[in-house]
Amino acid sequence: MAFEEEVDDKNISETELSKIPLMRAFVESKDPSAKEYDDLTIRRFLRARELDIEKASSMFLEFLKWRSSFVPNGSISLSEVPDELAQNKMFMQGFDKKGRPITVVFGARHFQNKVGGLDEFKRFVVYSLDKLCSRMPTGEEKFVGIGDLKGWGYSNCDIRGYLGALKILQIVFVENSTLKSRLQEDIEEDQLPETYGGKMPLVPIQNC
């Protein structure tokens, strides 16, 4: 569960420090559930809207509305994403050199969910992001995602699902010939998955 805490970040500006409490007061007056989110979350929305309190507040309140309807129990349970987990396509690894959690996704193991449909896939995305966020050290806002497309083909194509996921992810494409060296720029060998030449076994996200 998220909670309010003092922002401790040398990269935060005086302007941000002054606007965070103002935005918090406003959004909490509109939606009391905003109290469950810390100042770092408030800052993320401010930065996303160039420190415009009105625009950031509107964006944050929309997020709260979406979250309460899509995740009414506060989190996604294993029983809500059984078919997505059964594909065994996402793994939670260690941390990179900057302390950011690492996840690995195998594209060739993803198939359009014909049972739970797009809604279950969206729940799986939220489930996975919540897992990642729960492992982030205080003050960290990013994670490292390795998207492995080896063996990916037409049968794995899920346009609607991919479009939904791509809206919230930053993708970096790396050629296989330079993959290990590129990953080791950011990840120590003992934190790098064995499948990429490291020493850490793959850990299914539901087992983390």
What are the tens digits of pLDDT across the range 62-119? 989 988 988 888 899 999 999 999 999 999 999 999 899 999 999 899 888 888 888 8
Backbone dihedral region of 108: left (phi > 0), alpha (psi from -120 to 50 degrees) or beta?
alpha
Q: Per-residue pLDDT averaged across 156-165, rounded?
A: 69
Choice between 49 and 174, residue whose per-residue pLDDT is larger: 49
Q: Per-residue pLDDT averaged across 157-169, rounded?
A: 63
Report pTM.
0.68
- Residue 11 neighbours by CB under 8 Å, 6+ apart: none
Domains of the chain: 14-70 (1.10.8), 78-207 (3.40.525.10)
Choice between 39 and 173, residue whose per-residue pLDDT is larger: 39
- Written as one letter, the residue type at 130 is D
Give the model's pLDDT for residue 109.
Answer: 92
For the chain, percent of residues with pLDDT exceeding 70: 85
Residue 42 has pLDDT above 80, yes or no: yes
Decide the pairing of beta strands 101-106 and 90-95. Answer: antiparallel
Residue 33 in tokens = 């559930």
| pLDDT tens, residue by residue, 120-152 | 988 998 899 899 888 888 777 788 888 888 888
